[in-house]
Chains A and B, each alone.
Chain A
Amino acid sequence: MSQIRNFSIIAHIDHGKSTLADRLIQFTMQVPDRIFRDQLLDTMDIERERGITIKSNTIALPYTARDGLTYQLNLIDTPGHVDFSYEVSRALAACEGVLLLVDASQGVEAQTVANLYLALEHDLAIIPVINKIDLPAADVDGVREQIRQELGLDAADAILCSAKEGLGIEEVLEAIVRRIPPPRGRLDAPLSALIFDAHYDTFRGTIVSTRVFDGRVAPGDTIRLLSTGHTYKVEEVGIFGLSREPRPELTAGMVGYLLAGIKTVSDTRIGDTVTLNDNPAPRPLPGFKEVKPVVFASVYPVAADDYQVLSEALEKYKLNDAALIYQKDSSAALGQGFRCGFLGLLHLEIVQERLEREFGQNLIMTVPGVQYRFLLSDGTAVTVDNPLHYPDPTRIRGGEEPYIRASILTPERFVGAVLKLGVERRGVNSRFHYPTPGRVEITFEMPLAEVIIDFYDRLKTVTQGYGSFDYELLNWRESDLVRLDILVNGEKLDALAMIVHRSRAREWAVRVCQRLKAEIPRQQFKIALQGAIGGQIIARETISAFRKDVTAKCYGGDITRKRKLLERQKAGKKRMKMVGSVEVPQSAFMAVLRSENE
């Protein structure tokens, strides 16, 4: 146990976490080039493209330190986005220390602060690492000062490195050995192991990533998952090398995997405790939570016949993503689909992209919303996460919506713009905190609904890319909520309905109508686009009819070209949905969601 170190890297997006992980792996494992890919730990396409980690990966690095001893350094990778902060907290719970990575040119960002707090909650050893010191814009002294002032850490022994150039890697490894304490635990106590991640493997079922705190577990043991009470027979245990490496057992202090015929990832709970069925741990490990979705949207196949395919695709996707929840939904405009719950907007986008990419599904996703609570005149209360289930307005006595505390770190010169954005989004009780000269941390209390559509993009715009954002859920607050309907030639386009605060309804309605106007092709009749609350029209746009569309000449040499044009137009039409007699392209549904900057 004294030669094990369990650690994680926490950083803001783009601060070089994946690159540092790659260098640590290359340095310790002599990875052959043909196996090594940049960002080895991030395996999914989307992660590579976006440069972020969605599913975390773990790897055991063998490192012979300057003291001559060989250590096993378990790098536990964490997802790098606020949507996944619970997953981050469970991964950190498996560690004794973290590398706090800060970009020498960007400095400390909101996410860095948030992740640091998580690390402090777990009482972890923290090693500040200043990365990208090779950049011309690097300001090592400035960043040191930030670390001292904003994070309250001793920056004197911060390690300087450039992961990209491979500078300072050995110093980082030495610091892990010397400054992070070895795990503690009792080998003879009942098994108590933390599930901090789970992956699905087509051949082996669920691969559980676990950190053993007490006791030992070996193939043949019958384990019990404390939250569900389900029991399984262990088939294999091992550690994460470049591939899975079986071991005879996992013992206290170790990080590794466990295979036990668990069918789907959803049968496991991140944060749950694994113990032995016949000698159980007296109490679960602390910190376990059921993750609850906060953002909801419906997905529909573009072609109604593809419902079954979508259903199977979701089922398959769900094997590897326990956080996604879904149930059947149906819409007059879009037919059969599913109502899904997500951890956040990024999670939603990831699910959408992965369904489209991996399962070849052409999807329409509706406007995302949050859960609302309505108090009804008969004294009962209902929770509604789907605008189609908005109660009869005459029976509503009051509404409530979830609030968050949003914290935004920005250079001081953008304070005005950020405040304006916050107020636009119904932010209240703004507070200022000046961690270092020139930088401000602004916190708002604001409705969650206000940040789920293009808030982050807008923040990036008004702060010229410098602003960073993090949030935590606060509570439910009273709110004057209405259902906004979008009508196309008098027919409700139910997929675009949304529950919205009365003060924001008109603005949203105008925006949706304008977006639809730009996307819906002209037809042989005029098309009226309207936004309405009940019977009251609050926004209107008109798409004029085609007045003339015919080419003057069509003779022997024109036919092929004309046919090809028509074939292209017909192909476009296949991706349309009929709403009454109006053809609405898939792109119209997407356009409604797109940020104003695009």
Chain B
Amino acid sequence: MSRESPGLYVHVPFCRGKCHYCDFYSVTSLSLVSAYLEALDKEAQLYQGRFGAFDTLYLGGGTPSLLEGPQLRALMDCLRRHFSFSPEAEITLEANPDDLNPEKLALLQDLGVNRLSLGVQSFDDAELRFLGRRHTARQAAQAPAWARAAGFHHLGVDLIYALPGQTEAGWRKNLAKVLEFLPEHLSCYQLTLSPDTPLGQRQARGEFALPTEETQRRLFLFTSRFLEDRGYLHYEVSNFARGRAFFSRHNLNYWRHAPYLGLGPAAHSFDGRRRWWNFASVAKYCSVVNSGRRPVAGKETLTPEQLRLEACLLGLRTREGLPLSALGSAARTPALGRLADAGLVQVRHGRLTPTREGLVLADRLPLWLAD
């Protein structure tokens, strides 16, 4: 097992309804929640002692915030029983605004959750309806205020932009609204549609079109400049923080190619050399775990070449980039100089870092660098 501080991810695969753009695994029937929690306890037991103290815990989904108070408590108790966490561990819970109220927020504080990631997505009712979100603009604005009142000092808000027909002015309104709450962390995702989502299908039928590549680029650069001008660090393609202390440590862990353990249906794990992923089915997950086996649907052992490639594709999504030494022979190709001349990357202090313009093309960079 790797010595680096690993992260722990728990996938809570339940939602009250599916958002029209979402392709994460979740189910909308809540009847399996208790079976899921029991199975999770058993799965955790199977990994007990295999990882060192976790530096981060991320409860994601799905919608972890829909769990009832006692369910959340049982979940946290189970994790603390089987694993150890560093004293300063970052503990994040993903929450939907419509699940939150002052009592729930007080409970989360009590359970040790010290970082809240709010799935606001938009402060515009028409946009929220288009996206298939269940909350209103009013609820979206209420949730951060309550979270502050409950004592959350590390608040993250998720927003989605580059919607069909969205203008820079419209997007700017959302950004201005979110800045009223001065969240420590902001994730601004450009709308991406996979074909098996309701919006993906509507797009395929030609009911609407996403903004052109040129518009997406413009909105991306605008967002970066707008937020950096207001004191945020644009530290990953879609992520911004009011200072290094507020980077999402759990997610940075992924981009630094560090190990992580994922529990729950569809969760992925990585130990520095091997990656494996669980069945994307609550029922299958529960039945396999209940038979005493790990609910692993697939696994791979990465070659040194593959590890380098992953480190490269992940590192080039972040402003800290990656050490030149991690590039291998690609560090010596003329492509590097060309990308630098084109203003897409910089080489500083032995590290290769993407510029703001480079982040817009982050998926191409590893390919262009390849020898």
Interfacial residues, chain A to chain B (CB-CB below 8 A)? 523-525, 546-557, 559-560, 562-563, 566-567, 569-570, 573, 581
- CB atoms of B213 and A547 under 8 A apart: yes
- CB atoms of B254 and A525 under 8 A apart: no
- Return the contact of B309 from the options A557, A567, A573 (Cβ within 8 A): A567
- CB atoms of A546 and B310 under 8 A apart: no
Residues 258-316 of B contacting A (Cβ, < 8 Å): 260, 262, 266-270, 275, 277, 300, 306, 309-310, 313-314
Nearest-Cβ distance from residue A259 to partner chain B, whole angstroms: 51
- CB atoms of B251 and A566 under 8 A apart: no
Q: Choose the segment among B28-36, B83-91, B357-365 that binds chain A (4+ C-beta atoms closer than 8 Å).
A: B357-365
Chain B residues positioned under 8 Å from A547 (CB to CB): 213-214, 216-217, 360
- CB atoms of A560 and B268 under 8 A apart: yes
Closest 8 CB pairs of A and B: A552-B189, A550-B362, A548-B217, A547-B213, A557-B268, A547-B217, A548-B216, A549-B363
- Return the contact of A573 from the options B254, B255, B267, B370 (Cβ within 8 A): B370
- CB atoms of A557 and B277 under 8 A apart: yes
- CB atoms of B238 and A553 under 8 A apart: yes
| B54 at interface by CB-CB < 8 Å | no
Q: Choose the segment among B39-47, B200-208, B336-344 that binds chain A (4+ C-beta atoms closer than 8 Å).
A: B336-344
Complex Cα gap A581–B338 (Å): 8
Residues 324-339 of B contacting A (Cβ, < 8 Å): 338-339
- CB atoms of B367 and A569 under 8 A apart: yes
- CB atoms of B192 and A551 under 8 A apart: yes
Complex Cα gap A73–B235 (Å): 84
| B9 at interface by CB-CB < 8 Å | yes
- CB atoms of B213 and A548 under 8 A apart: yes
Q: Which of A547, A567, A581 has the most CB of B within 10 A?
A: A547
Known contacts A549-B361, A552-B237: A559-B310 contact under CB 8 Å: yes
Nearest-Cβ distance from residue B303 to partner chain A, whole angstroms: 11
Chain A residues positioned under 8 Å from B344 (CB to CB): 524
Q: Could you jot down 24 A-B contacts, CB within 8 Å?
A: A546-B361, A549-B360, A550-B317, A552-B189, A552-B190, A552-B191, A553-B192, A554-B254, A554-B313, A554-B314, A554-B317, A555-B251, A555-B254, A556-B9, A556-B270, A557-B266, A557-B267, A559-B254, A559-B270, A559-B275, A559-B313, A560-B268, A566-B366, A566-B367
Chain A residues positioned under 8 Å from B190 (CB to CB): 552
Complex Cα gap A563–B254 (Å): 14
Complex Cα gap A362–B363 (Å): 28
A548-B217, A548-B220 known, 19 other contacts, Cβ within 8 Å: A524-B344, A525-B342, A546-B213, A546-B361, A547-B213, A548-B361, A551-B237, A552-B190, A553-B238, A554-B313, A554-B317, A556-B9, A556-B254, A556-B268, A557-B266, A559-B310, A563-B313, A566-B309, A570-B309
- CB atoms of B363 and A550 under 8 A apart: yes
- CB atoms of A559 and B268 under 8 A apart: yes
- CB atoms of B364 and A570 under 8 A apart: no
Closest to A523 in B: B368
Known contacts A550-B237, A552-B238: A560-B370 contact under CB 8 Å: no
Chain A residues positioned under 8 Å from B260 (CB to CB): 556
Main secondary structure of the interface of A (DSSP, over half): loop
Interface size class of B (residues with CB under 8 A): 35 or more
Known contacts A547-B214, A570-B370, A573-B367: A524-B361 contact under CB 8 Å: yes
A-contact bits for B242-262, CB 8 A (1 contact / 0 none): 000000000100110000101
Complex Cα gap A573–B275 (Å): 26
Nearest-Cβ distance from residue A549 to partner chain B, whole angstroms: 5
Chain A residues positioned under 8 Å from B189 (CB to CB): 552-553
- CB atoms of B268 and A524 under 8 A apart: no
Closest to B370 in A: A570
Chain A residues positioned under 8 Å from B251 (CB to CB): 555
Nearest-Cβ distance from residue B298 to partner chain A, whole angstroms: 9
Closest to B24 in A: A557
Chain B residues positioned under 8 Å from A553 (CB to CB): 189, 192, 238
Chain B residues positioned under 8 Å from A559 (CB to CB): 254, 268, 270, 275, 310, 313-314
Known contacts A556-B9, A566-B313: A550-B360 contact under CB 8 Å: yes
Complex Cα gap A557–B213 (Å): 26
- CB atoms of B9 and A563 under 8 A apart: no
Complex Cα gap A556–B10 (Å): 11
Chain B residues positioned under 8 Å from A549 (CB to CB): 360-364
Chain A residues positioned under 8 Å from B314 (CB to CB): 554, 559
Closest to B361 in A: A549
Chain B residues positioned under 8 Å from A573 (CB to CB): 367, 370
- CB atoms of A546 and B266 under 8 A apart: no
Nearest-Cβ distance from residue B222 to partner chain A, whole angstroms: 13
Known contacts A524-B361, A552-B237, A557-B268: A570-B254 contact under CB 8 Å: no
Complex Cα gap A238–B270 (Å): 70
Complex Cα gap A524–B341 (Å): 11
Chain A residues positioned under 8 Å from B267 (CB to CB): 556-557
- CB atoms of A560 and B300 under 8 A apart: yes
Chain A residues positioned under 8 Å from B269 (CB to CB): 556
Complex Cα gap A549–B313 (Å): 13
Complex Cα gap A553–B314 (Å): 11
- Return the contact of A524 from the options B217, B238, B339, B366 (Cβ within 8 A): B339
Chain A residues positioned under 8 Å from B213 (CB to CB): 546-548
Closest to B338 in A: A581
Nearest-Cβ distance from residue A503 to partner chain B, whole angstroms: 40
Chain B residues positioned under 8 Å from A548 (CB to CB): 213-214, 216-217, 220, 360-361
- CB atoms of A524 and B237 under 8 A apart: no
Nearest-Cβ distance from residue B336 to partner chain A, whole angstroms: 12
Chain A residues positioned under 8 Å from B254 (CB to CB): 554-556, 559
Complex Cα gap A554–B314 (Å): 8
- Return the contact of B359 from the options A550, A555, A557, A566 (Cβ within 8 A): A550
Complex Cα gap A566–B366 (Å): 8
Closest to B298 in A: A560
Chain A residues positioned under 8 Å from B362 (CB to CB): 549-550
Complex Cα gap A576–B245 (Å): 44
Complex Cα gap A553–B60 (Å): 14
- Return the contact of B361 from the options A550, A555, A560, A563 (Cβ within 8 A): A550
Chain B residues positioned under 8 Å from A554 (CB to CB): 237, 254-255, 313-314, 317
Chain A residues positioned under 8 Å from B360 (CB to CB): 547-550
Complex Cα gap A550–B367 (Å): 12
Complex Cα gap A555–B192 (Å): 15
Nearest-Cβ distance from residue A208 to partner chain B, whole angstroms: 50
Closest to B221 in A: A548
Nearest-Cβ distance from residue B296 to partner chain A, whole angstroms: 13
